[in-house]
Every structure is written in structure tokens, then in C-alpha cells.
Amino acid sequence: MKIPYGKQYLDKKDYKYVVNSLKKPLLSGGIFIEKFENKISKFLKVKNVVACSSGTAALHMSFHSINLCEGDVVVMPAINFISSYNIAKLFKAKLISTKVNLNKKEFGNIIGKNCFGKEKKKRVLKEIKNFKKKYSILYTDSKTDIPLLKICKKGYII
């Protein structure tokens, strides 16, 4: 079965679950969420899982979980899910992103070298004085950040 992008597929089972949910005292929560979290927990082989209502809520919760504070640094690509940027700004973090051209004709083209690997390390060290003394923890989802991980006291690939 092909599912077209942007169009949901609902079968009789889905309608049954929706109707059953509407009959429960809690619309957002309850047994269906618990079942979902348990299945994900078993699949990932982890003890704790929390379902969120949106990706934005998950980002907000993630930033809380790492105690992101005012002045902490968040490095992200320029072309990114806008909520990542907005949530980081909400926490008053310093943002570093890949420099891109905002000119109408060349909009989105990367200016200079891309912000990953050794180039990201150079850029971060240039933009943040005393990086090695100031920042001891780094979370990343990319092995290309190994050069940065090596200069932090604690580094995590998540």
C-alpha cells in the first residue's frame, strides 16, 4: 500500500480507536498513550519513554532535560525545523548556524565552508572565546562532530 505524502490513511480500526478515546474521561492521555509508550519502550529496549503531542513539545522537553540555560550554545544547520531555532531562543541560548545567502537569486546557498566536522570546530572556536574552559558538555546527533567532542570534557552522540 502506498501512502501519499500529506494524506492520512484511516481504516475501520482507526475509527474504532478514535470513538473509544472520545468515550473516555481523558481525551489526551490514558490507556492508549500508556500502551504506545510501552510498545516504544520495548522496541527501543529502554526503561522510560514519554510521548509528546508534537515535535516542538519534544524539543522543549529535550532542552529542559539537558538543563539548557541562557547563554548556552546551540549549533544547528541553517535549513532546519524552525521550532528547533525558536525553542533554543526561548531558552535564550546563543545560536550558531551555517551561514547561507539570503539574496533572492541565490537564497539558501551556503556561504563559505559548511558548518560540520573540522570546519564546525574552527567556526565554534572562532565565535566563542574560551570555548574549552566555558563549555564542558556537548550533545550531538552526528559523528561529524567528533572534532568538537574531543575538546569537551563530556561528549554525547544521541
d(CA 100, CA 111): 5
Domain assignment of residue 143, yes or no: yes
Count the neighbouring beta carbons within 10 Å of the beta carbon of residue 93: 18
Average pLDDT over residues 125-137: 72
Based on the domain organization, do 82 and 141 belong to the same domain?
Answer: yes
Are 151 and 87 part of one and the same domain? yes
DSSP structure string for 121-149: HHHHHHHSTTHHHH--EEEES-GGGHHHH
Kindly report, residue by residue over 106-126, the tens digit of the pLDDT: 776 777 766 677 887 887 888
Phi-psi sector, 25: left (phi>0), alpha (psi -120 to 50), beta = alpha
> Would you tell me how many other CB atoms lie within 10 Å of the CB of residue 87?
23
| Cβ neighbours of residue 145 closer than 8 Å, sequence gap 6 or more | 116, 117, 120, 138, 155, 157
Rounded (5°) CA angle 3-158-109? 65
Counting every residue, how long is the chain? 158
Whether the model clears a pTM of 0.85, i.e. scores above it, the answer is no
- Full domain range(s) for residue 21: 12-44
Cross-strand bridge partners of residue 155: 138
State yes or no: pLDDT of 149 exceeds 70. Answer: yes
- Rounded average pLDDT over 51-80: 83
Q: Return the pLDDT at 38.
A: 95
Residues 28 and 86 in one domain: no
pLDDT value at residue 147? 84
Are 129 and 84 contained in the same domain? Answer: yes
Regarding whether 88 and 37 lie in a shared domain, the answer is: no
Number of domains in the chain: 2
